[in-house]
Structure 1
């Protein structure tokens, strides 16, 4: 059981209803210049802040359970911290810890997958968000899984890259695709068959959580013909035209 939170002795409580309002995107920046919240005419907000007990909370980094203070916050981690009243390590941090300790590769799921592709002499497929945004994923996790797969004798590996552009800069895919192709060359030199097999954007197809157009997702995730060649150069060619 989690320990109960200590009550602040300066807060005596209040009678009547209590309203919790989450204002996504509202926060004070480090500098006054260019700070939209400081510049906005928010007279009711200012009155509440000036005439009631108030404090400011950090909304990024380790304060909300992210791996480091270099990681920007997002609504999901902020909602978790405020709603729970305490900080929990978020997914990316948990995965990093699991990889560092080796626990991830000792799990039954990993062992079963590796044993299956080796015994059947089939390809191992990795699909996921391809960036270092550290909100839903991080490329370092993919690199670690690739290194481990090679160490365990997985001969064929296919990568299905979901390009980001949301948790990282828009049209930044080449900043990630090109270094990853260079990373894969070391395995090619060891006679491993590791290739980028497919890819796509995040927002409207493979990770769409707004329009929820399943037919579009299905068509985006299930191409008519399997791709066995390395399409990294094709991705680069397409992106350089945008």
Structure 2
């Protein structure tokens, strides 16, 4: 059951992977063994919702993978090529499909089967895990006749919530996080984003933990994302996030506040240049408002990113090609690190990265950094 990408790899590279795995399975198959692709779809259309933004997307994937309810094709290549020819859709947005013979799905998930979710990253894996793992308490959608299967994830995606219950390998143990250190120092924190990136300022930020280190010192605020293609509303929830963030800044209750504006990433992944420009402009407007709030409270603003995306919207044509193809994957360009409101001299070192920011934050807050961290990006505070 294949979930196709086209976001972190070239936008129409699915057939490369389909060919590879089908050739591999063909070498395994004999009279007593029959491995094949049974269903699939794009990761932004079925199965792989995150942060409970769109459970119907998971329900559609469940019905396709488990019950074989979906448009039928003879094989995955036919499905992908048909959808592309009909609508020009890229891999991430491919509708779901079911592989069938004589009108019958070739690979329903049934009682006694083993199901392994080969996904390393946790955010888009958890909801489908819950659909397989949970009993009668599951209330997100009607699973129909739920098969009794032996389900496991590649690893445990959330140890706090025990998702999934069975897994193939231990997840990485992330310790010495910035929040742990700030909680020890009694720093009051505030984290906000819209649904699409809420886990990035909470779950991922705290080392793949869904639970807080301190209920008293950590405040989480989620703004519900619109369930709509990102290129149709590229401003997303930047204004609403900014309204609440400014209110929190001006309240004086918090010493460290963080947010993530998803626009450059989520809209950039669509490959739509016009929409991405609008998305970036929306974030520019938001930052302008935040600057004024930071100045008002005599605060310090740090601006950075974890990777590029909106900065490079087209791939260079390959030899013999004339058309620039939309680039939907992340870029490898360096990201900025900007300090506003503090008179500091920053290091200029190619070895600097995200892992240097924790000590930088502590230095600006005048608290002791963790001894296991990399050093601060600040060379001198004037």
TM-score by length of 2: 0.28
Structure (1 or 2) with the greater strand fraction: 2
TM-score by length of 1: 0.39
